[in-house]
Chain A
Amino acid sequence: MEIPRVGYNDQNSIAGIPSVTDPEATYAGITRQDYVDYVRNYRPYEEQLLDKAQNDTSLIDAAREDSAAAPEVMRQSAARSVSRFGANLTPAQLQQQERGLQRQNTLGGIQAISDARIAQRENNQALMSDLINIGQGVNRSSLSQLGSEAANANARGQAYDSAKAQSKAQTYSTIGTLGSAAIMAAFLI
């Protein structure tokens, strides 16, 4: 959403400096546009991060995939090493190697996933605490803004009440002066 341009004129500019006819309206327009930009460009991003901080399991998923893929990588690496020496493993050795890979895969997989769970929790908590810090800042500035608006509204209300009272007092004073003068004049005749 594009906020209409109010209070300035880009066309009527000298050396690229826009002519600002109404700084107050320009200020209000810019700040409104900034908020609209934030909502459009960063609100979904923020929500995505909040969701990620609570539900991300990417480290655990990667650990599962890696622990499943690693034995094959190492099986091929071992085969390359053996062939580099022009040797062969006996069927018994191959069987032993396979058993070793399976054992390590099971034990290593459990350990990797367990480590990944801890790392995931740590990362998610760090992300959440960073987001909460940002949120606290937003909350603080919003409350301070609201407090300032409330003070403004209160000042306006008080000024209106006092102006009303002053006006009423002035009217009564004039009426009183005229009335008392009329009564005195009537008695003096």
Chain B
Amino acid sequence: MGSKPKKSDYQASEAEKTSAGVAKAERDYFKQKYDPLLQNMRDQSFSDDNRRQLRSRANADTMQALTKGTTFADTQATERAGLAANALTGQMGIAEKSAGKIKNTMQTGVLGTARGQAADAQSGMAQASRLATSDALNRAKNNNLVRGAKMKAIGKIAKAGMSAYGEKFGADEEGLGGSKSGKFFQKFTSAIDDAQRRGA
């Protein structure tokens, strides 16, 4: 019969412990360095800096295009200011649209990354629960094995006891002598052997 399993034999090796430690350290580093960056990007995505820059550029481009090389005749053309105002409004509209797109791209980028992290967390959780499940299954299997072994042991002990009683108080080789109960246990244990042989 083998010795009892030692818990120490089932503990993680030094390599596994180091691997887990390094993974934890990397994760801590990520949280410390990259999480604040993403939160910073989240806050920046609300900023109007890009919009202001694009509007300034649109305004400058329009003014430069419409006032460059202005002649005296141009100053006397009364329709010119109205047309220029129209052009400026149009350019501003284009700047606004581009700024909106940039903002949306940045915001969905931040959200996608954050959601990606949460999704990683969820799949991590599923993995952790898979580990727990296989643990639970192993535990159940082991319990079952132990229960079966206990039952067998009880049977063996009972049989050994009866056999000993039968040998002491049962009949001799010629079938003579012995007490009634001794004979019973003698027959009983040999019947168990028969039954087990047939079962096998």
Chain A interface (Cβ < 8 Å from any Cβ of B): 8, 13, 16-20, 23-24, 26-28, 30-35, 37-38, 41-42, 45-46, 49, 58-59, 62-63, 66-67, 70-71, 73-75, 77-78, 81-82, 84-85, 87, 89, 93, 96-97, 100-105, 107-109, 111-112, 115-116, 119-120, 122-123, 126-127, 130-131, 134, 137-138, 141-142, 144-145, 148-149, 152, 155-156, 159-160, 163, 166-167, 170-171, 173-174, 177-178, 180-182, 184-186, 188-189
Contacts and interface: CB of A to CB of B under 8 A. Distances in A.
Contacts of A130: 104, 108, 112
A31 B128 contact: yes
Given A66-B92, A81-B75, A100-B81, A155 B108 contact: no
Nearest to B180: A189
A184 B194 contact: yes
- Looking at chain A's contact residues, the main secondary structure is helix
Given A18-B25, A87-B72, A166-B144, A123 B86 contact: no
A28 B125 contact: yes
Given A71-B82, A119-B96, A181-B195, A163 B151 contact: no
15 contacts: A20-B20, A24-B135, A45-B42, A46-B115, A67-B89, A81-B74, A102-B82, A116-B96, A130-B112, A142-B122, A145-B125, A166-B148, A177-B195, A182-B188, A185-B190
A152 B114 contact: no
For B79, B86, B121, B196, which residue has the most chain A Cβ atoms within 10 angstroms? B86
A159 B97 contact: no
